[in-house]
């Protein structure tokens, strides 16, 4: 067969997946921009409004294993299309909400069902089907879609709310999802190379099966046994810690922590934007390196570095006197934003690469869904528990120390993962 020249269609599918994650997950991460407007509009407390976020994370988490299994059964394209429709409709309907419970229903539940259906679970499965080489790099690009949404959609939402109000903002976001994103998916997105009559990028590989630490095929055993073994358990708990320390703790509490330290809202916002920018870069580089380096060692190093970056936040509060002659609090905050951004979503690509290597075709959707379930449960707890501890102690010290210890534990677990073997 003559080899065709030009761009392999896998890169087009990857770009479309990137755009979908940018819009959908960007809308999800914009929640913080609506907290104060919703408080004022509904005359609600912060606890009432932030409970929407808690419900959203829990819905998102519970859905992940089911989405992965649903994709295994009905195909990824149907799941993606219906998820985008649900997100767009929910955002438009949110504009007509008049009570906090309606926000919980429309955003916390309805929109979050769509967020869960167009998540990194979908992106990971798409990459697994379309790429047999450069898979880590492709997963890095895919994961960067969410980081790009954080960098672009979140500040855009803030500007739009100030200019035209939150009602028109959520309506416009919903219309963009339906009018711009949905047609792109319908026209260009393909679930697998078979739909185009071509092989994946890099060619087809022999069938693989999940492998036990001893080298035996795990698909020869009951499926449930795989989820009780070290490859899955250590990936699951390390990814749980990832969710706790990133989306839960830092993405939710960095701005209030900065305000607690006396930074202006403008400085806090600039720090968040800086973190998102380096998050994008770190995610791409991580994906590229996971094709060249051992993903287990990469993850161990990334979690260790993440723990070190969180120490900077403790320094900002307690040890500033040691840096008076060199760095002020503002400089330290931006050093944290840069360093944490680099290791933020950078764990996704090597984690998903390992998951796709450990799991066989019959359970990969379920495995990835369970991993993201753990991640989002961690995110839910990471957003809620620090608030409770802050109310009780008046500081974030306990939370940051706990996060550092958790990162160390995640690092050790990743170093102890067995090497994936192809059968």
Residues 231 and 172 in one domain: no
- Distance (Å) of CA 289 to CA 101, 211, 344, 399: 45, 23, 15, 31
What is the C-alpha to C-alpha distance for residues 250 and 228, in angstroms, rounded to an integer? 30
pTM of the model: 0.72
Residues 80 and 226 in one domain: no
Can you tell me the mean pLDDT for 333-353? 87
Q: What is the CATH number of the domain that holds 68?
A: 1.20.1250.20
Tell which wins on pLDDT, 217 or 365. 365
Residues 282 and 355 in one domain: yes
SS (H, E, C) 113-142: HHHHHCCHHHHHHHHHHHECCCHHHHHHHH
pLDDT value, residue 423:
30
- Distance (Å) of CA 99 to CA 40, 44, 49: 12, 9, 11
**Per-residue pLDDT at 3 exceeds 60:** no
- Does residue 204 form part of some domain? no
Can you tell me the mean pLDDT for 404-420? 92
Boundary (domain end) residue, out of 138, 158, 191: 191
How many residues does this entry show for the chain?
423
Contact 169, 45 (CB under 8 A): no
Which tens digits make up the pLDDT trace of 52-105?
A: 878 888 888 888 777 767 877 788 888 899 999 999 999 999 999 888 889 989
- What do you get for the CA distance between the two ends of the chain, in Å? 27
338: three-class secondary structure by DSSP:
helix
Residues 283 and 337 in one domain: yes
Tell which wins on pLDDT, 183 or 255. 183
Residues 31 and 178 in one domain: yes
Percent of the chain with pLDDT over 70: 87
Average pLDDT, rounded, for the chain: 81
Q: What is the separation of C-alpha 216 from the centre of its chain, rounded to a whole number of angstroms?
A: 32
Boundary (domain end) residue, out of 191, 225, 245: 191
Q: What is the separation of C-alpha 208 from the centre of its chain, rounded to a whole number of angstroms?
A: 27
Residues 174 and 297 in one domain: no
Q: How many CB atoms lie within 10 A of CB 74?
A: 11
Residues 185 and 221 in one domain: no
- Does residue 371 form part of some domain? yes
Percent of the chain with pLDDT over 90: 24
Confidence band of 328 (pLDDT split at 50, 70, 90): low
Domain count, the chain: 2
The residue segments making up the domain with residue 46 are 10-191
**Per-residue pLDDT at 46 exceeds 70:** no
Residues 107 and 231 in one domain: no
Residues 6+ apart with CB under 8 A from 376: 57, 58, 60, 61, 64, 243, 247
Confidence band of 269 (pLDDT split at 50, 70, 90): confident
- Does residue 197 form part of some domain? no
Contact 365, 64 (CB under 8 A): no
- Does residue 203 form part of some domain? no
Residues 263 and 341 in one domain: yes
Residues 163 and 303 in one domain: no
- Does residue 38 form part of some domain? yes
Confidence band of 392 (pLDDT split at 50, 70, 90): confident
What is the C-alpha to C-alpha distance for residues 64 and 124, in angstroms, rounded to an integer? 12
Can you tell me the mean pLDDT for 253-261? 77
Boundary (domain end) residue, out of 191, 223, 239: 191
pLDDT value, residue 262:
80
pLDDT value, residue 312:
86
pLDDT value, residue 320:
56
**Per-residue pLDDT at 408 exceeds 90:** yes
Confidence band of 110 (pLDDT split at 50, 70, 90): very high
Which tens digits make up the pLDDT trace of 194-245?
A: 878 888 877 765 554 444 444 444 444 445 576 777 888 899 999 999 999 9
- Distance (Å) of CA 188 to CA 56, 163, 213: 30, 34, 40
């Amino acid at each position: 067969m003559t080899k065709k020249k030009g761009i392999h269609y896998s890169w087009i599918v990857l770009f479309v997946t990137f755009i979908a994650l940018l819009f959908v997950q960007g809308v999800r991460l914009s929640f913080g921009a609506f907290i104060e407007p919703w408080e004022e509009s509904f005359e609600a407390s912060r606890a009432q409004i932030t409970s929407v976020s808690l419900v959203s994370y829990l819905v998102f988490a519970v859905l992940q294993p089911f989405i992965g299994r649903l994709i295994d059964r009905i195909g990824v394209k149907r799941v993606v299309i219906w998820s985008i429709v649900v997100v767009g409709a929910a955002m438009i309907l949110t504009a007509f909400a008049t009570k906090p419970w309606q926000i919980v229903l429309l955003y916390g539940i309805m929109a979050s069902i769509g967020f869960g259906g167009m998540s990194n679970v979908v992106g990971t499965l798409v990459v697994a089907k379309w790429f047999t080489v450069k898979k880590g790099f492709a997963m890095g690009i895919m994961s960067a879609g969410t980081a790009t949404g954080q960098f672009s959609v979140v500040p855009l939402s803030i500007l739009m709310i100030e200019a035209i109000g939150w009602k028109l903002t959520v309506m416009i976001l919903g219309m963009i999802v339906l009018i711009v994103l949905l047609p792109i998916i319908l026209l260009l997105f393909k679930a697998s190379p078979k739909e185009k009559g071509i092989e994946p990028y890099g060619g087809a590989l022999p069938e693989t099966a999940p492998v036990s630490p001893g080298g035996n095929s795990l698909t020869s055993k009951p499926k449930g046994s795989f989820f009780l073994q070290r490859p899955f358990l250590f990936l699951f708990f390390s990814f749980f810690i990832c969710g706790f320390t990133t989306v839960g703790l830092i993405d939710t509490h960095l701005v209030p922590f900065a305000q607690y330290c006396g930074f202006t809202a403008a400085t806090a916002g600039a720090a968040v934007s800086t973190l998102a920018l380096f998050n994008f870069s770190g995610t791409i580089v991580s994906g590229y390196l996971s094709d060249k380096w051992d993903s287990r060692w990469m993850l161990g190093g990334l979690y260790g570095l993440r723990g070190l970056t969180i120490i900077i936040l403790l320094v900002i509060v307690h040890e500033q006197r040691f840096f008076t002659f060199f760095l002020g609090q503002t400089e330290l905050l931006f050093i944290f934003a840069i360093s944490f951004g680099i290791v933020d979503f950078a764990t996704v690509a090597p984690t998903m690469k390992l998951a796709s290597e450990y799991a066989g075709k019959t359970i990969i959707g379920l495995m990835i869904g369970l991993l993201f379930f753990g991640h989002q449960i961690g995110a839910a707890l990471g957003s809620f528990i620090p608030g409770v501890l802050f109310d009780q102690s008046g500081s974030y010290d306990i939370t940051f120390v706990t996060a550092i210890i958790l990162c160390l534990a995640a690092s050790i677990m990743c170093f102890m993962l067995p090497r994936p073997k192809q059968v």
